[in-house]
Amino acid sequence: MIYRLVKGVTAQETADGGFLVASRPLRMLRLNPSLLKLVRRMGRDWLTPASTAEMNVLETLAKRGFVERQWQSLSLSGNLPTISVIIPVKDRADDLRNCLTSLQELEYPQHKLEVVVVDDGSSDDTPRVAEELGAVLVESGQVAGGPALARNKGAAVASGEILAFIDSDCTASQQWLMELLPVFADADVAAVGGLVDGMYTESALDRYEAVMSSLNLGRREMSGGQGGDTFYLPSCNLLMRKEAFTSAGGFRSELHVGEDVDLTWRLRDAGWKIVYLPRGTVFHAHRSKLWPFMKRRFEYGTSEGMLQQLHPVRGKKMIVPPMLAAILFLLASALICQSLLPLAVAAVLLLGDTAFVTTKMRRQKLPISFVMVLLARARSVGSLGYYLGYHLLRYYLVPQLLAAIIYPPLGLLTLVMLLGAGGVDYRVRKARLTPIGFFLYYFLEQLSYGSGVFWGCVQTKSFTSYRLDVNGISQNI
């Protein structure tokens, strides 16, 4: 593993050490003299830690967002593990052919690669295609028993040290395995997932799904161990140690939605780590018609109630600093009441809060300007607005629309949240479609998913999916 400072992070020296300062969001970390020396060695170049102690320090800095890391590449001539690629399928002969063809082009020693296709009761040429392209064909024993059951059947006959799960409507990039395998150098890692990109770009919905699908976890590396957060890995691009899969009991075969979430959470609860890397790409043929798109989002939403019952300790968590929340509340009040008074009060609170934070930082001998802190605090208000707005749209869009009929100004607030949260996602995700098209799909996605969450809660007779754990403390400026 090698490390370097994240873009936007600088080291500022003082008489007794120094600080690491990150610009977005603005935050700082005090450095003692020995840690400052380590930071000087790193600079903007990649640094290989000279000891376990240095690696532990750099890992801590990476978790805090000040340092980025890079896994060292593997060599095709090295001691690579045996891998079993497992593909569940039903009535997707053409898709399966594309998938298997892409696996034949993988840059990986073929004698260490096994492909297992589990047929879930197909009525087309799917079994013939699997055998024709050299895959090990396994029958699930049912008709439409579901992908979880099929994957378990495949894993039962797999001989590889690593199980690589991919769906039949996906194709793999040539470097799929080689880019993800280095993570297993960490003995505590049970599973690693890679980037899920869109296979097609012809329609606007294809391009929306390419960046907004829940299968696409973004462009930032993430990891998770024991804890209560909801980070998981999708099963359409998932590599896992067979021993970890077996010890966890595999997928819950009764689950037809959310089975990957459940398994990766159980692995974390058992003390394993899971990692996501924004590479090792798999291309997915997303649903490109409007109704199937909405239906799938609805189905994803229904899984929340069931997952909450299986994993009651895992819930939605949000940091809501009291001062920033008060400013945001005043801004919303100004919009709803159509009055400038709350806006003026919010401005006064923001300026007062900025003065307080600036004074506090200068007492610690950190040279920083009032304007820099003001911009950082304003961005923090905006970030809080995004997360709260997205949550309200995701889970409460239907009640908001009904309330807007009774009191129209609430409709204006909902529109602002939609434009605000959607605008951030449009810019960050770099969606290649018009703003109008993006916001239409964005609205329909929230509407469909939120409706699914409600229906799932009705089915499980529990509404704990709506619980939000709020923490009022933040380490950011």
**220: pLDDT strictly greater than 50:** yes
Task: Could you please state the CATH topology (level 3) that the domain comprising 2-70 is classified under.
Answer: Outer Surface Protein A; domain 3 (3.90.930)
pLDDT at 446: 97
Structural domain boundaries of the chain? 2-70, 83-288, 318-471
Average pLDDT, integer, range 50-74: 85
**22: pLDDT strictly greater than 90:** no
Q: Could you tell me the CA-to-CA distances from 35 to 4, 30, 60, 320, 368 in Å, in that order?
A: 14, 9, 12, 31, 21
Is 30 in a helix, a strand, or coil?
strand
pLDDT digits (tens, 9 = 90+) for 241-294: 999 999 999 999 999 999 999 999 999 999 999 999 999 999 999 888 999 999
pLDDT digits (tens, 9 = 90+) for 158-198: 999 999 999 999 999 999 999 999 999 999 999 999 999 99
Sheet holding 26-31, edge to edge: 9-14, 17-23, 26-31
CATH of the structural domain 83-288, one choice from 3.40.710.10, 3.90.550.10, 3.90.1150.10, 3.30.300.180: 3.90.550.10
pLDDT digits (tens, 9 = 90+) for 347-387: 999 999 999 989 988 887 777 889 989 999 999 999 999 99
Do the beta carbons of residue 171 and residue 255 sit within 8 Å? no
pTM, full prediction: 0.89
pLDDT at 475: 47
